[in-house]
Structure 1
Amino acid sequence: MTGLLAGLALSLGLLSPLPENPIPPQSQQMLRVISADWNAVPAKLQRFERPNSETAWQAVGSAMPVVVGKKGMGWGQGLHSKALAAPEAFRKEGDKRAPAGVFRLGTVFGLARPETVKPWLKMPYLLLQDETRCIGARESVYYNQIVEQNQVKRDWKHDGDNENMKLDALRDEGAYRWGLFVEHNTPPDRVSGSCIFVHLWKGDGSGTSGCTALSKQNIEILLHWLDQSKNPILVQMPEAEYQALKAAWLLP
């Protein structure tokens, strides 16, 4: 890292020397989300792709407006090193911040029948059922997992600690009619938070509890494009931190 980048990293609270590049060499698709600063709610999402790790990332389509947490972002637990920043810079359960860092993208979920998405969806798919829950109860062995609660041993104290995902798809302006699981805090600790998704927004001025949200039109563009065989990732952080890490992590 050059002296200029090292100085920038230190001024931003990043530890120096920066940890090694966390971008998996097999990843050929990236969702990049950048906000103005740690407290900002609006952000921009840009798709990128590459044929292999030896070539540069190329932008796909136009940037999309998104929103992140109501309190902005904080470093999350993902593919990047925990040594990237001081412990107090990391998000915690319930703090209304979206996770910053590098994360794998997992299962798509929604209300569409599997047979209707099979012709075009190239990611794993979960149809939300009456019993589908994302477990937020810290005492549960299923913490930060999506389960059918009638198919597992109920080891949580309060049902209200878990997200009734189908109900949230039917109410709350349909936030979970389409969604995508972000592999933040997997395997989980009991501090960093649970149930982080990319999902439908309530509007361009309405932040989330810690997820990244966008319009129905744009999330459908994402879901038609994402391909599990290309090991897609989410790279999400404020602009200044992105610029400090860009060269070291070979980011576009």
Structure 2
Amino acid sequence: MSDTKVTIQTYEKKKGEWRRALKKMEGVIGKNGFTKSKKEGDGKSPIGIYSFGTAFGSETKPANMKMKYKKTTKNDYWIDDQTSKDYNKWKTYTGNPADKWKSFERMNHELYKYGAVINYNMNPIKKGKGSAIFLHKWRGETKPTAGCTATAEKNVLSLLKWMDPEQNPHIIMGTNESLKSVK
């Protein structure tokens, strides 16, 4: 549960059977490992099964990508201010973000060259349960995240190109043991 290095594996159902799709990939998660009860700022990645939201990045949408994609700008922010009605939402704002929110993430960031929203704490959004959980490019194989899942840029691109919204892609996050209780 406290490990920060993970293996990313992809599966797809073909003719009623789950089969491996892409090669295994090395990844990293939150600097404090996994948790079943995520809290804002705990540095942990949430255990569970989550769908993907919008793919995004500071670069143009990659060729052959089927996911909806939003190119980020300097005016795009993900709000992690627990006192705001915008908590755990992507907002585009042209003013000074520090005048509007106590805490936010800039979406036009080097680690977000390519990524996808992991739909954690989205429906309904519960303040303080954690925000801004993404799949994105890593800083390196020994550098954990604040709660996201990250891997090499080439792997992020492979995953984004492989995911097909018509197939309803999901990410399953956790240890083999922790996932036994996830439904």
TM-score, scaled to structure 2: 0.91
* Deviation digits for residues 26-47 of structure 1 (CA, Å, limit 9, x no counterpart): xxxxxxxxxxxx1000010100
Aligned match of 1:177 in 113, 117, 124? 113
Considering only CA atoms, is the larger Rg found in Structure 1 or Structure 2?
A: 1
How far is 1:239 from its partner?
2.2
Q: Which of 4, 7, 10 pairs up with 1:47?
A: 10
Q: Distance in 2 between matches of 1:139 and 1:207?
A: 27
Which 4+ residue blocks in structure 1 deviate beyond 6 angstroms? Answer: none
Alignment partners' CA distance in 2, 1:51 and 1:148: 40
- Residue 63 of structure 1 corresponds to 24
Q: 1:162 and 2:104 equivalent?
A: yes
The one-letter amino acid of 1:162's match is: F
Q: Is the 8 A contact 2:79 2:101 kept in 1?
A: no
Distance (Å, rounded) in 2 between the aligned partners of 1:113 and 1:62: 25
Q: Identify which of 69, 75, 80 aligns with 1:125.
A: 69
Say which SS state the counterpart of residue 239 (structure 1) adopts: coil
Task: Name the CA distance, whole Å, in 2 between partners of 1:195 and 1:189.
Answer: 13
2:34 aligned to which of 67, 73, 94: 73
Q: Secondary structure at the match of 1:71?
A: coil
Unaligned runs of 5+ in 1: 1-37, 76-89
Structure 2 unaligned segments of length 5 or more: list them.
none
Identity of aligned residues (%): 28
* Separation (CA, whole Å) in 1 of partners of 2:28 and 2:87: 25
Give the whole-Å Cα distance in 2 for the aligned partners of 1:163 and 1:111.
14
Conserved? CA contact 2:47–2:178, under 8 Å: no
Q: Could you tell me how far 1:156 is from its partner in structure 2?
A: 4.0
- In 2, the alpha carbon distance for the partners of 1:155 and 1:135 equals 13
Q: Which has the higher helix share?
A: 1
How does 1:122-161 map onto structure 2 within 5 Å? 122-150=66-94, 156-158=100-102, 161=103
Which residue in the other structure is 2:46 paired with?
A: 99
